[in-house]
A and B are shown apart, each in its own frame.
Chain A
Amino acid sequence: MSGQKFDNKVIQWVDDRLPIFSILQHSAVEYPTPRNLNYWWNFGSLAGLVLVIMILSGLFLAMNYAANSALAFTSVEHIMRDVNYGWLLRYLHANGASMFFIVVYIHIFRGLYYGSYKAPREVLWWLGLVIYLLMMATAFMGYVLPWGQMSFWGATVITNLFSAFPVVGDYIVTLLWGGFSVDNPTLNRFFALHFLLPFLIFAVVFLHVVALHTVKSNNPLGIDVKGPQDTIPFHPYYTIKDLFGIGVFMMVFLGFVFFAPNFFGEPDNYIPANPMVTPAHIVPEWYYLPFYAILRSVPDKLMGVLAMFGAIIVLFFLPWIDSSKVRSAKFRPLYKQVFWIFLANTFVLGYIGGQPPDDTTVMIGRIATAVYFGFFPLLWLLGKIEKPRPLPLSISAPVLKAKTAAQPMEKA
């Protein structure tokens, strides 16, 4: 996108040779953004910010961490006690992981509510799901690194899942472990991969933003931009709004870091890993709990694993499962109810995932799993039978009462 003219001679000289400034001007300054975005649209930039914070804090932690089962736990305590501001680096990284998932979950549910996964944003949605899967893998391996009781036993339980696959299951698990149980080889490779994956995430985030800029942002009304009267330049409107959002986010994030740094954690992980002693309750980190509940709801080992992965895979097909031509839940009264039930159900699943399994919790877990998967055929059905509210003429047209004639369906 060269051809932009800049007043500053130095900037012009660089831009003629590498159009970095033209690109920034086009995609971060002038970029036409719907004028009606609400604060639910802040969470994408927040996710990007958290990724940068995680990479930076992780890098400086890696300068002091020892990825060997004999040294790992002590090296983390060395960071906490002896390294200057080591406690800050560690708590930024641990709480940053939780914040990353909070922000990304809100970002995903925003997409579900406003139909941001529908045409022409299917690939944008997929790239987001790929980022989410990479985040899950990265966070899982990262939690193993301190080599506490939960690190060790969480790794044991989750890697053992792969033995569910017929014929090759045990070979896969041995390959993952590099031995006959979770041990030093496992820790070492998890560290290498944990260091690598965030840069893959960064690359997919880049593609995610390119895909976004290709189809442009959705908006709370879910209707297409009709012309320049519907948009405003990204800068200064959304740059300042994003900065404000960042300020609020940082206060919440740093509130945890400085005043409740172990809120999201497990006390058992402050006990060094002991292969001879299993903790009373093995619990994964909170952001896995809904999937853990789904896994435990299915009595068969292999089916449980398939259901757990299936719960995420099904999301890839959402643009086709949901046959409604209307994007935003604002104009879909039935879908809106179903959405809130789905959201509440994921909290139920999460709660169940954290409980020791007894008759009651298993029963609730099964119902909640059924609700989770039932959401998708229901969505398909709703697309066929739901009568949406009339859509406004355009984003910038004043919001008219429902009586005024407007196209009933907006072609996606």
Chain B
Amino acid sequence: MAETSTNAQSTPPQGETRRDFLLYATTVMGVAGTALAVWPFIHSMNPAADTLAMATTEVDLTPVAEGQSITVTWRGKPVFVRHRTAAEIEMARSVVVADLRDPAADETRVKKPEWLILVGVCTHLGCIPLGQKPADPRGDFGGWFCPCHGSHYDTSGRVRKGPAPLNLKVPDYTFLTDTSVRIG
């Protein structure tokens, strides 16, 4: 509802306070009405119901053997799901946390130590790091290596070298059973 503002020409004298009230009350209601009318237009730009429905992905972990990684799509982005070996877990936990660029203990980045779930988007400028496939380079720390500008991530997905400022993000996830997880 388009609204033309009504400007009072001058302050009316005492006797016209009733018209004042009506004028102010009407203006307030008119402005409120316009604001309420604007909201549906803005909200229509927020994610639609089908987009929100894709906001969670369930992943079956049974086919992922120890030492293997799979990549799933979640909210349009790749998510790395890695079944870590004992050696990889040990390597992740033996790091001095305080020395890290983005300090985080491995225990805080996993719910079950053998399952590492990360958003596979480099925190530098958004490329997808290599390391999911057996033949991929892993970088110097046994995790992932981003080919775009040379960031290295360790077996906990933490940045150790290169221009990336932060560790690979851990998305919200819940274990539905021991062998299936819901991401998002």
Contacts and interface: CB of A to CB of B under 8 A. Distances in A.
- Asked if the two chains touch in their complex, CB atoms less than 8 Å apart, one says yes
Contacts of B48: 64, 78, 82-84, 86
Q: What band does the interface of chain B fall in when counting residues whose beta carbon is under 8 Å from A? A: 10 to 19
Contact of A89 (B1, B30, B40): B40
A85 B6 contact: no
Contacts of A63: 44-45
Given A52-B2, A240-B6, A82 B49 contact: yes
A346 B40 CA distance: 38
Interface string A65-98: 0000000000000100111111011000000000
Contact of B43 (A81, A84, A242): A84
Contacts of A56: 41
Interface in B20-58: 30, 40-41, 43-46, 48-51
Contact of A236 (B9, B44, B46): B9
Nearest to B50: A82
A308 to B, nearest CB: 34
Given A82-B48, A82-B49, A83-B48, A236 B40 contact: no
Contacts of B41: 56, 60, 85, 89
B44 A250 contact: no
Give the dominant DSSP class at A's interface.
helix
B4 interface: yes
A85 B50 contact: no
A404 B48 CA distance: 70
Nearest to B45: A63
Interface in B84-111: none
A28 B7 CA distance: 12
Contacts of A242: 4
A20 to B, nearest CB: 15
Interface string A238-277: 0110110010001000000000000000000000000000
Nearest to B40: A85
Q: What band does the interface of chain A fall in when counting residues whose beta carbon is under 8 Å from B? A: 20 to 34
B44 A86 contact: yes
A57 to B, nearest CB: 8
Contact of A60 (B1, B7, B30, B44): B44
Nearest to B9: A236
Contacts of A250: 1
A88 B9 CA distance: 38
Interface string A22-44: 00000010000000000000000
A89 B45 CA distance: 12
- Residue with the highest number of chain A CB atoms closer than 10 Å, among B3, B4, B44: B44
A85 B49 CA distance: 11
Contacts of B50: 78, 82
Nearest to B53: A82
A306 B48 CA distance: 47
Contacts of A236: 6, 9
Nearest to B39: A85
B4 A84 contact: no
B44 A49 contact: no
Contacts of B6: 235-236, 239-240, 243
A86 B45 CA distance: 10
B43 A85 contact: yes
Contacts of B3: 243
A242 B3 CA distance: 10
Contacts of A78: 48, 50
B173 to A, nearest CB: 25
B44 A83 contact: yes
Contact of B44 (A53, A81, A85): A85
Contacts of A81: 49
A84 B9 contact: no
B111 to A, nearest CB: 32
Contacts of A240: 6
A361 to B, nearest CB: 41
Contacts of A28: 4
Interface in B139-164: none
A385 B144 CA distance: 96
A242 B4 CA distance: 10
Interface string A8-32: 0000000000000000000010000
A254 to B, nearest CB: 9
B40 A246 contact: no
Contacts of A85: 40-41, 43-44
A220 B9 CA distance: 28
B44 A84 contact: yes
Nearest to A85: B40
A88 B44 CA distance: 10
Nearest to B47: A84
A228 B40 CA distance: 45
A196 B50 CA distance: 30
A246 B1 contact: yes
B40 A49 contact: no
17 contacts: A60-B41, A64-B48, A78-B48, A82-B50, A83-B44, A83-B48, A83-B49, A88-B40, A89-B41, A89-B44, A235-B7, A236-B9, A239-B4, A240-B6, A242-B4, A243-B30, A246-B1
Given A83-B49, A89-B41, A89-B44, 6 more contacts: A63-B45, A78-B50, A84-B49, A85-B43, A85-B44, A250-B1
**9 closest A-B pairs by CB:** A85-B40, A82-B49, A82-B48, A82-B50, A84-B43, A83-B48, A85-B44, A84-B44, A49-B2
